Amino acid sequence: MRKFIQRALNKLSKLDEEQIRALLFDLASENEMLEMVLNSMTDGILVTDLEHKISFVNQGVRSLLPILRSDPEEHLLWEAIADEEISTFLREGVQEQKRIEEEEFTLEGSGAGRTLSFSLVPIVKEGEHRGSLVLVSDITERRKREARLRRAESLASLTTLAAGVAHEIKNPLGSIGIHIQLIQKALKQNQCLDEETAGRYLEIITEEIERLNSIVVDFLFAVRPMDTSMKRTTVNVVVEEIIEFIKYELEENQVKLKTKLDQNLPKIDLDEKYMKQALINIIKNGVAAMNEGGSLTIVTREDHGYVHIDISDSGIGMNEEQLSKIFEPYYTTKEFGSGLGLTVVYKVVREHNGEVSVHSREEQGTTFTISLPIPDSEKRLLDWKGEEE
């Protein structure tokens, strides 16, 4: 229909009165249908012109947003919105012609508050800015479902951790009990215990107590919320400090280090202390997988709104069953290990709103990839630089 109307408009001077009347009727019908479709949507749609005045508002916006006027059309966008925080956000966004995805705001009203997600898209035609499109979604129920899922996951994780702790403490407690019984038996038989024997038993008991303490400390780290202190920096700073820290250990284990660090990475929000711990845990796992030496490769790169850190080893690799369990608490393939190293990695990365993935094949090595989101302000800076060039 739209192509037909466009062709008719191009020949407007040649149309008679009846044809023009039919064209206007078609235009009105199409416009009415479009308006009905937009008003039937539960999401809000709001359109502004080049001067930031509202040119269209669907019923979804009226039901979601506190609007000051019953007829907001022809008023400046930010003057029509009753909520000051949302009004300021929209004013800055449209004036700077920003593209923003899913910025969230909470509206407090009677009863529980509602969470709204706003996306702002510049309207561009033939390379020229013609206005702005605002999309509004009520994500209150989605956030509640996500919160319930997180609580369920947290409870399941805590249950798994508790079961792991119960299993782990059995051996040191059993060892302590056995050696206390040996001391009691010796005292009962001889009424005394020579210093050498007592020292040997007490040394073992002390070692097992330290082991119990380590288990408890690891458990508390795994379950307690992290007190993160975020700083805007590049991952290369963290990676280079880690390389300096581990290079001697790599040399001792005959592991050759290769690096490929992108020097044009955008800055991201990092807690350097926790991220270093996560990277060290992955590197130590890689070194342990290369019993007779090998190569470790660290790559940093930027792609699709994320900064990625790839850590690859040339070790023994893992099968599908091992891959499915590596992030589970207390699961380990090493003879000596707490089984919490990769659980800590997962927790640290999630605390940074990132993702961690692993690719591995038996006898072909393993690659861990940590993906960390680039802040919107840095994304806009990248876009701006791209346009400048």
The domain that contains 186 carries what CATH number? 1.10.287.130
Q: At what angle do helices 235-252 and 272-288 cross, to 10 degrees?
A: 30
Q: Which two tokens stand for residue 156?
A: 């399941």
Query: 16-28 pLDDT, tens per residue?
Result: 778 777 777 777 7
Classify residue 18 by its DSSP letter.
Answer: H
Pair 190, 249 in one domain: no
Q: Which tops the pLDDT comparison, 261 or 213? A: 261
- The answer as to whether 298 is a domain residue is yes
- Is residue 151 in a domain? yes
Q: Is residue 11 part of a domain?
A: no
- The answer on pLDDT for 199 being more than 50 is yes
For residue 250, give its domain range. Answer: 231-388
Residue with tokens 């129920």: 141
Tokens representing 79 are 């003057």
Q: How many residues does the chain have?
A: 389
Read off the pTM: 0.53
pLDDT of residue 239: 93
Average pLDDT on 305-315 reads 91
Residue with the two structure tokens 């009962």: 188
Share of the chain above pLDDT 70, in %: 84
- pLDDT score of 193: 74
Smallest CA-to-CA distance from 123 within 113, 112, 134 is with 134
- Chain centroid to CA 233: how far? 17
Considering the domain architecture, whether residues 92 and 174 belong to the same structural domain is answered as no
**Of 69-73, 144-148, 346-350, 369-373, which range is least confident?**
69-73
Task: Give dist(CA 84, CA 66) in Å, integer.
Answer: 10
Does residue 337 fall inside a structural domain? yes
Q: What count of Cα atoms within 13 Å lies in the side-chain half-sphere of residue 70?
A: 0
pLDDT for 8 equals 64
For 268, phi then psi, to 5°, come to -135, 170
Amino acid residing at 80 = A
Looking at residue 73, what is its pLDDT? 74
Instruction: Give the pLDDT confidence score for residue 19 in this predicted structure.
Output: 74
Q: Extract the tokens encoding 254.
A: 């005959």
Q: Tell whether 297 and 313 lie within a shared domain.
A: yes
- Angstrom CA distances, 344 to 49, 67, 281, 326, 360, stand at 50, 46, 8, 11, 20
| Same domain flag for 92 and 130 | yes
Domain match, 150 and 269 both? no
Ranges 122-131, 185-194, 207-216, 274-283, most confident = 274-283
Q: In CATH, what number is assigned to the domain containing residue 80?
A: 3.30.450.20
**Does residue 17 fall inside a structural domain?**
no
The answer to whether residue 162 scores a pLDDT higher than 90 is no
34, part of any domain: no
- Span 268-278, mean pLDDT? 90
Furthest-apart CA atoms within the chain: distance in Å: 125
pLDDT value at 125 more than 50: yes
Same domain, 96 and 52: yes
Quickly tell me which residue has 């012609």 as its tokens. Answer: 97
65 and 128 belong to one structural domain: yes
Q: Are residues 237 and 347 in the same domain?
A: yes
Measure the CA–CA gap between 380 and 98, rounded to whole angstroms.
8
Integer Cα distance of 31 and 25 in angstroms: 10
The residue-averaged pLDDT of 81-86 equals 85
The packing angle between helices 140-190 and 195-223, to 10°, is: 170
Q: What is the pLDDT of residue 336?
A: 47
Beta carbons of 227 and 258 less than 8 angstroms apart: no
The mean-pLDDT minimum among 6-10, 213-217, 315-319 falls in 6-10
CA distances from 244 to 161, 240, 265, 308, 315 (A): 33, 6, 20, 20, 22
Structurally, the chain folds into a number of domains equal to 3
Instruction: Write down the residue that tokens 């006027």 correspond to.
Output: 69
Average pLDDT over the chain reads: 81
* Residue 4 scores a pLDDT above 70: no
- Boundary (domain end) residue, out of 170, 197, 223: 223
Q: Does 280 share its domain with 375?
A: yes
* Same domain flag for 328 and 352: yes
For residues 95 and 156, membership in a common domain is answered with no
How much is the pLDDT for 371?
93
Q: Is 317 left (phi over 0), alpha (psi -120 to 50) or beta?
A: left
Residue 38 phi, psi dihedral angles, 5° rounding:
-65, -35
Out of 72, 105, 137, a domain closes at 137
Q: Please indicate, yes or no, whether residues 70 and 183 belong to a single structural domain of this protein.
A: no
CB atoms < 10 A from the CB of 109, how many?
8
Residue 384 has pLDDT above 60, yes or no: no
Q: What one-letter code names the amino acid at 313?
A: D
Of residues 60 and 73, more confidence is placed in 60
Residue 265 lies in a domain: yes
